[in-house]
Amino acid sequence: MIFTVLIPLLIACLIPFVSLYKHRIHTGIFVFFVPFTIFIYFIQFIGTGFEPVRHTYNWIPSLGINFDFHLDGLSLLFALLISGIGSLVVLYSIYYLERNERLGHFYVYLLMFMSAMLGIVLSDNVFVLYTFWELTSISSFLLIGYWHFKEKSRYGALKSMMITIFGGLSMFGGFILLTVITGTASIRAMVANADIIMDNPYMPLALGFILIGAFTKSAQFPFHIWLPDAMEAPTPVSAYLHSATMVKAGIYLIARFSPVFSGFEWFFIIVSIAGILTLCWGSYMAVHQTDLKAILAFSTISQLGMIMAMLGFGTEAAIFAAVFHILNHATFKGSLFMVAGAVDHESGTRDIRKLGGLATLMPISATLALFGTFSMAGIPLPFLNGFYSKELFFGSAIDLGEGTSALASFLIEVIPYLAVLGSIFTFVYSMYFVFGTFWGPKKLDELPKKPHEAPAGMLVAPGILVLGVILIGLFPGAINGTFIAHAAEAVNGEAVAKEIYFWHGWDSTAFQMSLAVLGIGAVLTVTRKKWHGVYQILPGRLSANKVYDWLMAKIDIYSGKITNAYMTGSLRHYMIIILSAILIATTGFMIATGGFTMNFQNLASVTIIEMAVVLVIVAAAVATIFINNNVAAILITGITGYGVALLFIIYRAPDLGLTQLVVETISVALFLLCFYHLPNLKKRQESLTSKTTNGLVSIGFGAMVTLIGISAHSSDWFGTISDYFLETSYSLGGGDNVVNVILVDMRGLDTLFEIAVLGIAALAIYTLIKYRSDKGGR
């Protein structure tokens, strides 16, 4: 299973070479087979007898971090959407993107994103999931900013990354808390220990952190503001992000952890409020947009809110409806984005105010848009899948039971009305999108170019998705027991085989709610221009974007001031800051944890020879402060090293002493060689304040290191590692000289990289000397 996650990354490494031949064959043709192959692999798991599959690959087993991939019904649903719609997106991009575009960059970013999303939905280890989570933020930043020469693309890319990475870091904090509480990093194990989590006082904090991560990723109010700006990405990216991947990651996270938190009433309150508010606000704002992709972007926000609300409800019916709508939304929303891209590609604009009457010029696109929008609006037709999940949503909203608190009880009462309100505006923007684009008077003189039907290749992908809309609508039972039921079971832990059928009877409350949506929505659609002025009042001048822009401006100003305060260009300042930070942090931590210990028992007596050597070392170290001659300073510094070598020999460690003598000799020789070509040291006059600061930092840092050394010798918190080296030096390293075995075998990589660092430093010094010689000694 790991190969399904890593293959896109491996193929991405080949794309730069393949794209060299993009003028002969479009790079997308080569890329198409990657997601298609993954889709074929996962489709084999669909069936009534599906059983979860698990594979473990060691990564950092000592920390409990491994590639634990778990395929159950929920992850299978998302994996099929990621790979299936990914295949269609790549197919669509072949005809959408010209060959003179930076195709190599585009497909590398797309494959990175695909791999990251697959990693999220298949990972059972929370830290591996987080790793892939942040990779989606990075790759989506690159995809949204693909047309980097556009200011709006750069702005949208930065906004998406800032908001989603903020949420990702918050989610990471929640994962750490859950790992500490349960003692495991496995999601399945956390679900099994849900009672332990619920009884822990840190549970609300962990829940809050995880909800922030999910809400930012899935564009829930008020974090929704990044999603409309993400439409500046090429249409294939928008279709992929909005229908099947990134924005669904937060939905997946809530679905995966809902068995852990669903017993907590505030989970229902927070998630339901966020979801239903996002549904209403997103659908309301979609009607106000004039850009086709902006309408669909706010539509996505609204639909995500509906799914999030159902997951918040937490009932068996609501969870089933949520996973069913995840599939339905992917089909109709992906097709609509592709149709919007086709309109833009053929007419030169996405401004709905300039469009109209395109049905006669683009009849196939108009037909696909009609099916997609009618499904999104929940029109009660038996061949539209959107109506089925909308009915299930209404049904779950009116069967929430009773709350144990006043707030929960009030929420249960108002949710059905808010569900209808959000769905009314969903109907309005759906009709606004399709009829405003394809019907009504033509405005050909306002279009940059005369439109015509999109190329057949560009219509294949949305056509397949619309076919999915129809087939799911006609045969919903075919995917129920074999597919959707397994996804719902993975969330609520119980087998679900809810019957899906079109007609519920005239007395069905859910159907009556649908009729109310149709009636009121039709009136609002016809009279849209008359009541459109309400947007001057709400939101009016209020905007979460203004808050974001203000916050980013302040961060930019104050971060610049802070940076300029310490980036002075003075090496002395940098060393003071670094050493002071280490001194304060280390000393504070050791004091808080009782780390400083002193035990002078069982120590050997100190002889006159040892005291003499130490005094010489101290004298040499102090003398370096007052020396102005380069050669003298190097030689005196060497005395300290040679003194340490003498101490090793006195303490009967001749190997260490010899090593220290060799290293010190080479260091002194190199310093002499280098400083020979540099001017003599010139010590500037410093103020008393500077000298005092230098003294305090130096003495404090030296005292800290001394105390740490004494504490390390005095403490017995851990067993000594020396016994291990003594016992295994011969059997593992083949040598009786323990020091040499440690340097060459047991810590061979350390030695290797130390040699590499010294070699690089020597090359740098040689370069500086050579550069100075070439400049005539200046």
How many domains does the chain divide into?
5
Question: So what's the pLDDT on residue 497?
Answer: 58
- Contact status, residue 66 vs residue 56, Cβ threshold 8 Å: yes
Say yes or no: 104 and 11 in one domain: yes
Identify the domain containing residue 331 by its residue range: 265-529
Q: Are 356 and 292 in a shared domain?
A: yes
Do 279 and 182 share a structural domain?
Answer: no
The residue-averaged pLDDT of 555-565 equals 89
Together in a domain, 467 and 574: no
End position of a domain, from candidates 218, 239, 261: 261
Sequence-distant (≥ 6) Cβ neighbours of residue 745 within 8 angstroms: 732, 733, 734, 735
Q: Residue 505 region, left (φ>0) first, then alpha (ψ -120 to 50), else beta?
A: left
Say which CATH number the domain at 593 has: 1.20.120
Note whether 276 and 200 are same-domain residues: no
Residue 84 reports pLDDT greater than 70: yes
Angle value at C-alpha 299, between 293 and 305, nearest 5 degrees: 145
Q: How far is it, in rounded angstroms, from Cα 308 to Cα 393?
A: 11
Tell me, yes or no, whether 556 and 610 share the same domain.
Answer: no
Q: Which one-letter amino acid corresponds to residue 534?
A: V
- Best-predicted range by mean pLDDT (510-514, 637-641, 723-727): 510-514
Half-sphere exposure of 51 (CA within 13 A, CB side): 1
How is residue 618 written in tokens? 């101290």
> Of 480, 513, 529, which closes a domain?
529
pLDDT digits (tens, 9 = 90+) for 216-230: 999 899 899 999 998
Please state the three-class secondary structure of 161-181 as a single string. Answer: HHHHHHHHHHHHHHHHHHHHH
Does residue 652 sit in the same domain as residue 514? no
Residue 601: pLDDT above 80? no
Query: What is the rounded average pLDDT of the residues 205-215?
Result: 95
Q: Are residues 752 and 614 in the same domain?
A: no
Cis amide prior to 539 (ω within 30 degrees)? yes
Whether residue 183 is found in the same domain as residue 275: no
In percent, the amount of the chain with pLDDT more than 70 equals: 97
Q: Are residues 448 and 554 in the same domain?
A: no
**Residues 111-117: what's their mean pLDDT?**
94
Measured between alpha carbons, how far is 242 from 369 in angstroms, rounded to an integer?
A: 16
pLDDT of residue 458: 92
Contact 270, 313 (CB under 8 A): no
Please check whether residues 425 and 492 belong to one and the same domain: yes
Any idea which residue has 């030695």 for tokens? Answer: 751
Would you state the structure tokens that stand for residue 18, as one six-digit string? 């393949």
First to last CA, the chain: 62
**Confidence check: pLDDT of 776 > 60:** no
Q: Are residues 472 and 353 in the same domain?
A: yes
Q: How many whole angstroms separate alpha carbon 197 and alpha carbon 98?
A: 53
| Mean pLDDT rounded to a whole number for the chain | 88
CA distance linking residue 114 with residue 132, whole number of Å: 10
37, 90 contact by CB (below 8 A): no
Give this prediction's pTM: 0.82
Which H or E element spans position 65?
A: strand 65-71
**How confident is the model over 457-515, as pLDDT tens digits?**
899 999 999 999 999 999 888 888 788 888 898 988 776 656 787 777 788 888 999 99
How would you class 623 by CB atoms within 10 Å of its CB: exposed for 0-12, middle for 13-18, buried for 19 or more? middle
Distance, in Å, from the CA atom of 176 to the CA atom of 398, rounded to the nearest integer, reads 37
The string of pLDDT tens digits covering residues 650-680 is 888 787 788 888 888 888 887 777 776 666 6
